[in-house]
Structure 1
């Protein structure tokens, strides 16, 4: 009986975290991310790294960036669909000033296996 309750609890938890409106935890990149999704994810990671490297609290980071706690959490938890690239670039420019954002375009070549 106890095992059934644990499975139900796990199923409920799984349903909760798979809900598109789930607000907790860190979000990963989609399976096949677009170049924009990759860039936004990397900017979020850089901002989180800045916070960690400088031992800043959320409050201190909010003061430096002018962000609300909700928006800051969207960035720190890499909720890339909740932030736009302009916001991320503005935050990066406040934290890493003087800074320059570069876009590198490189063609990715896929390797195809040939079956004989």
Structure 2
């Protein structure tokens, strides 16, 4: 297998520059950022446990696929905490949220 040409590498780099990957939690994250990250993590867990595609999960939650895609990539800064909790309640309607301070 030959190494890609400069043209091919440039095209790939341009595409990757515009891509939004999964956002990591900063080591100095605020408590609010940690809470939002954990809420997003619950969506990822639910999706994997139920073998759902993003489109299927979006339908369950009642939002656009683009919105659920952002949640699954931990882009929680795009939403209020209220909205994230409201969406989470759609997949876990019989559960309650408890706060644990540690």
Q: Which TM-score bucket, shorter chain as reference?
A: 0.7 to 0.9
Deviation (angstroms), 1:48? 0.8
Q: Partner residue of 1:112? A: none
Question: Runs of 5+ in structure 1 lacking a partner?
Answer: 17-21, 107-116
User: Which has more radius of gyration?
Assistant: 1
Q: Tell me the C-alpha RMSD between the 2 structures.
A: 2.3
More helix by share: 2
The one of 51, 60, 63 aligned to 2:59: 63
The one of 35, 48, 53 aligned to 1:52: 48
Measured against aligned partners, the alpha-carbon deviations of 1:69-103 in whole angstroms (never above 9, x if no partner) come to 22111100001211221111111111012011112
Q: How many residues align?
A: 94
Moved over 2 A (4+): none
The one of 6, 11, 25 aligned to 1:29: 25
Question: Larger RCO: Structure 1 or Structure 2 (Cα < 8 Å, ≥ 6 residues apart)?
Answer: 2
- Distance in 2 between the 1:38 and 1:59 partners? 26
Q: Partner residue of 1:84? A: 80
Contact 1:28 1:78 in 2 (8 A): yes
Deviation (angstroms), 1:30? 2.1
